[in-house]
């Protein structure tokens, strides 16, 4: 049976919900929020060239450049922490709103039903912070009376505790069996619904689901667990969960017969992802579908640095409905049921 791997970038979430921000929109939203923060004065002292996008700003703030004074370093770290919290809050707000949204009679509802079909042999690797994918799949299960009951926990291959367990000190991941037919979702850059103490690389990771059973101060004392968009992410890969997720991602890609890269363009700054694919596929040549609204002129040079030329399918690019067409014509065809 065909082993399928979906590799998701921000373009996937944008296709499902146009309100989800891409980098330019995210940058604007973050700076609008920073203007209202107590760190605004220090933000004014940052070079204007650095503030062109979030990646550049966070890289500048988190890097210990030799010319920075101790005072500047502490101010930079304070601004960095505020920015990361704002990033988490933006995606958390979207996730909360998604709880009220329904996907009946859409291509993405059919997509969710398809990937949750027993023995469908598909899994997900995503760089997105949002929980849109999880919520679509959960919504589909909750609306089908004959479907199994699942939760966020079942999607996450690394054992992550429900945040409500902090109040009871009873960590369900230690004894709860995961549903074997639920696809894995490997979130390589963390998630807007993940939190940790931020002290040790072995700290417990918690997830939340924004249900009424979670008290308003349930995240008190915890930090968002997301790997921010910085040029050098190596220092953020220390947690054992991230080690585990990236190793599993490499294994999934290595075993895949078909790989669907949706809404990701292999930017030059994301070397880890580039090397992940090259390592996993060094002795293999699976079919790779490029699904992206960007032009071939922009996509081909980036993809051809990573993959062998013979295995790339560009049929689902350049058009605004590229993701929807791909799902309808490839995923929902008889051969992929």
Q: At what angle do helices 70-98 and 23-34 cross, to 10 degrees?
A: 120
Mean pLDDT of 153-178: 67
Residue 71 pLDDT greater than 70, yes or no? yes
Contacts of 28 (CB under 8 A, 6+ apart): none
- Cα dist from 183 to 123, 138, 160, 220, whole Å: 5, 12, 16, 31
Each residue's pLDDT tens digit, 248-294: 999 999 999 999 999 999 987 788 999 999 999 998 889 999 999 99
**Residue listed under structure tokens 């966070």:** 58
* Fold of the domain spanning 4-17+102-336: Rossmann fold (3.40.50)
Contacts of 304 (CB under 8 A, 6+ apart): 312
Residue 176 pLDDT greater than 60, yes or no? no
Residues forming a β-bridge with 124: 6, 185
What's the residue count for the chain?
Answer: 337
From CA 303, how far away is CA 36, in angstroms rounded?
40
From CA 60, how far away is CA 56, in angstroms rounded?
6
Each residue's pLDDT tens digit, 222-235: 888 988 888 777 77
- Cα dist from 69 to 72, 74, 75, 168, 171, whole Å: 5, 9, 10, 44, 43
Beta strands in the chain (DSSP E): 4-8, 122-126, 161-162, 185-187, 190-196, 206-207, 223-226, 258-262, 287-292, 312-317
* Model pTM score: 0.89
């Amino acid at each position: 049976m065909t082993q399928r791997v979906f590799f998701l970038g921000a373009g996937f979430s944008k296709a499902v919900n146009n309100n989800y921000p891409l980098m330019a929109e995210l940058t604007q939203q973050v700076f609008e929020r920073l203007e209202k923060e107590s760190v605004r004065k220090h933000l004014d002292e940052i070079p204007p060239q650095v503030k062109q996008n979030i990646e550049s700003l966070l890289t500048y703030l988190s890097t210990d450049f030799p010319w920075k004074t101790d005072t500047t370093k502490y101010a930079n770290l304070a601004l960095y922490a505020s920015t990361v919290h704002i990033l988490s809050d933006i995606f958390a707000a979207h996730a909360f709103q998604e709880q009220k949204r329904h996907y009946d009679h859409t291509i993405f509802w059919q997509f969710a039903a398809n990937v949750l079909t027993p023995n469908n042999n598909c899994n997900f690797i995503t760089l997105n912070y949002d929980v849109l994918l999880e919520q679509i799949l959960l919504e589909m299960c909750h609306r089908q009376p004959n479907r199994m009951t699942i939760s966020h926990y079942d999607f996450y291959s690394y054992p992550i505790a429900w945040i409500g367990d902090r109040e009871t000190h009873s960590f369900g991941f230690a004894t709860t069996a995961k549903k074997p037919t639920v696809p894995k979702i490997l979130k390589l850059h963390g998630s807007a619904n993940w939190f940790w103490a931020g002290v040790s690389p072995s700290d417990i990771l918690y997830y939340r689901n924004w249900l009424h059973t979670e008290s308003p101060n349930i995240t008190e004392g915890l930090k968002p667990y997301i790997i921010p968009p910085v040029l050098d992410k190596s220092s953020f890969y220390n947690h054992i969960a991230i080690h585990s997720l990236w190793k599993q991602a490499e294994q999934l890609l290595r075993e895949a017969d078909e790989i669907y890269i949706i809404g990701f363009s292999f930017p030059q700054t994301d070397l880890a992802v580039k090397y992940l694919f090259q390592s996993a596929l060094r002795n293999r040549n699976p079919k790779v579908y490029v699904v992206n609204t960007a032009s071939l002129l922009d996509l081909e040079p980036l993809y051809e640095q990573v993959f062998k030329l013979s295995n790339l399918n560009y049929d689902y690019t350049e058009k605004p409905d590229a993701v929807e067409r791909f799902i309808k014509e490839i995923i929902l065809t008889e051969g992929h049921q």
